[in-house]
Amino acid sequence: MPYNGRIVSIHDRLHDALERALAGLRAGLEPELRTLAHELPDTATAVLASAAEAIDRAGSLAGTLHALVEAAVPYADRVGLFLVRDGRVRAWRLNGVEEAAVTTTRTDRMTRFPISVDGSVVAILYAEGADARAGGIPALDLLTRYTGHLLESITLHAALGLTPPRRLAPPGDASATGGFAGQ
């Protein structure tokens, strides 16, 4: 029996030594993990804010839609923008998406986000794999809604013969004075 007792004793001592080592490792990593946990939401917010700023700076209808596609890339595996006119859908800008994607009935891992101007759908952002990315679907929903409002504003200004307000640098930029130029 001394043999089994010796194995148990070695096992217990090894277990205790590993627990002490892991406790020290956990204590050393805990502050860094807390810092990372606080930075992640800020990073996601910064990426979203940067995407909205890029869309905002575009200034034209085509530029705004192009900026939306670029802004959507971090949130999905594949992205495509389809224009809707007179009930017809046509591919406009595709990033890893096939042209038939918007009309397919397959729904696994794909999401379609309508972009509306004055209550009518004028474009559809197609995103595949956004469900697997942290915050992908909510971020794309927010960006497409924002894009719709900007398209509406650009269209309204053009219809009234007005020049859209010129956007200034984002907040925090040394050249920013806040708001729109001329205010």
The two three-digit tokens of residue 120, written as one number: 């009518």
Cα–Cα dist 147/151, whole Å: 6
H and E: helices and strands count for the chain: 3, 4
Per-residue confidence (pLDDT) for residue 33, from 0 to 100: 65
Per-residue confidence (pLDDT) for residue 182, from 0 to 100: 39
Enumerate long-range contacts of 150-157, CB under 8 Å, 24 or more apart. Answer: 150/55, 150/56, 150/58, 150/64, 151/61, 151/64, 151/65, 151/115, 151/117, 151/122, 152/117, 152/118, 154/59, 154/60, 154/61, 154/64, 155/61, 155/117, 155/118
Cα–Cα dist 117/123, whole Å: 9
Per-residue confidence (pLDDT) for residue 62, from 0 to 100: 94
Per-residue confidence (pLDDT) for residue 181, from 0 to 100: 42
Domain boundaries, the chain: 45-159
Enumerate residue ranges in the chain where pLDDT < 50. Answer: 1-2, 174-183
Q: 45-159: what fold?
A: Beta-Lactamase (3.30.450)
Q: What H or E segment, with its residue span, contains residue 26? A: helix 2-57
Per-residue confidence (pLDDT) for residue 179, from 0 to 100: 43
The two three-digit tokens of residue 2, written as one number: 């001394």
Per-residue confidence (pLDDT) for residue 32, from 0 to 100: 72
Per-residue confidence (pLDDT) for residue 135, from 0 to 100: 79
